[in-house]
Amino acid sequence: MNEAQIHLALNHAPLFLAIAGAIILLLGMVRKNESYRSLSLYILASAALFTIPVFLTGEGTEETVEHLPGVAEAAISEHESMAQIALVIISITGVIALAGIFLRRKETLMSLVYWLVLVFSIASFGAMAATAHLGGKIRHTELGAVANASKEGNEGEEKEENEMNEKAAVRSTLPADSTAKPETPVSGKKEKDDDD
């Protein structure tokens, strides 16, 4: 498995873990359910951990795709810049979530921890979603294959149409007599029929 495959396999995990953690934390806060709140902390810490291999494989993935046709360097730069911002936000979220896991016994601090984690998890989701959107603009070979197949199909249709136009042009340059089929003598056939 190369870096590009790892990057593509894991890149949506932090995005979905961030929103799942935020939703579960919000439910836990509304229902005053400690199990939900604890679960959300573990999910958000996991989201931060998943971000590390995704970010680290980004450079190798860039080297794989940057010279492919249809890949814009500007799109890669935008994706990379947003990924750095998302990494910082999700890392802060993960650190606060880990602190919350270890400080669960101190109820006075936990209210602040939950609110901080909630705000940062929503910000993490937004940053991850923006990063994913910009990453999708770079290039996916499966989309390129569809585009190439469509392009080849269009080229085939254009070639057929050009051939038909060329034949029509040749016919229009021929004299009127050369386009008509020679007629078979009808009178000889009638005579033969009359003899029978």
Grade residue 144 by pLDDT with cuts at 50, 70 and 90. very low
Residue 38: pLDDT over 80: yes
Percent of the chain at pLDDT > 70 equals 70
pTM for the full predicted model: 0.67
Does some domain include residue 36?
Answer: yes
pLDDT in tens, 74-128: 888 899 999 999 999 999 999 999 999 998 888 888 999 999 999 999 999 999 9
Indicate the range of 104-108, 111-115, 134-138, 177-181 predicted with least confidence.
177-181
Does some domain include residue 163?
Answer: no
Grade residue 159 by pLDDT with cuts at 50, 70 and 90. low
Does some domain include residue 183?
Answer: no
pLDDT at 19: 96
> In 3D, which of 36, 31, 44, 11 has the Cα closest to residue 133?
11
pLDDT at 150: 45
Does some domain include residue 64?
Answer: yes
Q: What is the dihedral of CA 158, 164, 165, 167, to 10 degrees?
A: 150
Task: Please count the structural domains in the chain.
Answer: 1
Does some domain include residue 47?
Answer: yes
Does some domain include residue 147?
Answer: no
- Retrieve residue 22's tokens: 């935020």
Grade residue 146 by pLDDT with cuts at 50, 70 and 90. very low
**∠ CA 132-134-19, rounded to 5°:** 25
pLDDT at 46: 96
pLDDT at 149: 44
Does some domain include residue 150?
Answer: no
Quote the domain boundaries for residue 56.
3-138
Asked if residues 16 and 51 have their Cβ atoms less than 8 Å apart, the reply is no
pLDDT at 81: 93
How confident is the prediction for the chain on average, in pLDDT? 80
Does some domain include residue 162?
Answer: no
